[in-house]
């Protein structure tokens, strides 16, 4: 059984996936910005899976040279992973005219280009090792334009497109690529997101319930092992995944109605 490499592995969906994979016997390479959170995550996992080997790397995935060095070190120590999950991400909602160009660039640097670097570095050694499974974490914001997500949604739209292409292009190397579209999930990122989310955006995005990261991680891992191109947990995400284009006119009307109500309050 080969290792699992996970960005954003110190909390949220990434940590939940790391825990589940470690319990099944996978050694781990975990990547996240905060060294103390990585250490805490490592200790928590070792309590449940004491036999696994865990390498940790305090790195910002938006820093391509640093991420490349970390991945190459992990490859040298653990070999090519069987499971590679890009879970690192940021979400800072706000209205377009109030958000800086730097904030837009930061979302793309972390959510898209951090994932891109991760996959580019790992796909060749994974192919040489006989294949594997790649998991990308997108969002319901990748299905249609949502008011207040001008910086965030484009990065998740981009991930959706990348994942669909990789599912086709990496197949001949026996590498599957799965994109998951989680509903609101009880993670530190969601708490941070709520700090700047406009009231209308909150109303627009409610309705999918609040999922636990363990449930999302389990569905992602199962989808990766089954070779599915996408996983859309819950009725709302499943409907958007299958019927997003057809529903777009209705969703635009719904948003405009909510925006108008909030702007007149």
Catalytic residues: 138, 152, 156
Alpha-carbon distance 84 to 77, whole Å? 15
Instruction: State which H helix or E strand residue 175 sits in.
Output: strand 175-180
Instruction: Report CA 26 to chain centroid distance, whole Å.
Output: 20
Torsions phi, psi for 101 (to 5 deg):
-55, -35
Minimal CA–CA distance to 67: which of 135, 122, 11, 12? 122
Residue for token pair 């979400």: 91
How many helices and strands in the chain, by DSSP H and E?
Answer: 10, 7
Q: Are 202 and 218 in contact (CB under 8 A)?
A: no
Instruction: Report CA torsion sign: 72, 74, 79, 84.
Output: negative
Minimal CA–CA distance to 7: which of 24, 23, 29, 25? 29
Query: Which residues lie below 8 Å from residue 265, measured CB to CB, with a gap of 6+?
Result: none
Tell me, what DSSP letter sits at residue 82?
S
Alpha-carbon distance 65 to 147, whole Å? 34
Tell me, what DSSP letter sits at residue 86?
E
Alpha-carbon distance 163 to 142, whole Å? 12
């Amino acid at each position: 059984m080969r290792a699992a490499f996970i960005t954003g592995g110190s909390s949220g969906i990434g940590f939940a996936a790391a825990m589940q994979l470690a319990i099944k016997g996978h050694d781990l390479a975990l990547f996240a910005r905060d060294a103390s959170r990585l250490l805490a995550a490592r200790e928590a996992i070792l309590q449940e899976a004491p036999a696994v080997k865990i390498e940790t790397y305090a790195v910002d995935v938006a820093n391509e040279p640093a991420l490349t060095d970390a991945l190459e070190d992990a490859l040298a120590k653990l070999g090519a992973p069987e499971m590679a999950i890009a879970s690192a991400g940021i979400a800072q909602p706000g209205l377009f005219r109030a958000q800086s160009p730097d904030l837009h660039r930061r979302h793309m640097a972390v959510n898209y280009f951090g994932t891109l670097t991760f996959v580019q570095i790992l796909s060749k050694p994974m192919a040489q090792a006989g294949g594997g499974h790649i998991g990308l974490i997108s969002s319901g914001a990748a299905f249609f334009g949502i008011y207040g997500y001008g910086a965030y949604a484009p990065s998740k739209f981009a991930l959706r497109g990348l994942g669909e292409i990789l599912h086709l292009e990496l197949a001949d190397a026996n590498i599957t690529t799965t994109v998951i579209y989680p509903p609101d999930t009880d993670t530190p990122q969601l708490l941070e997101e709520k700090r700047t989310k406009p009231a209308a955006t909150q109303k627009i995005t409610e309705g999918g319930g609040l999922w636990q990261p363990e449930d999302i991680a389990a569905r992602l891992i199962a989808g990766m092992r089954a070779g599915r191109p996408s996983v859309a947990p819950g009725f709302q995400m499943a409907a958007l995944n299958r019927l997003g284009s057809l529903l777009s006119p209705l969703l635009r009307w719904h948003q405009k109605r909510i925006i108008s109500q909030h702007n007149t309050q």
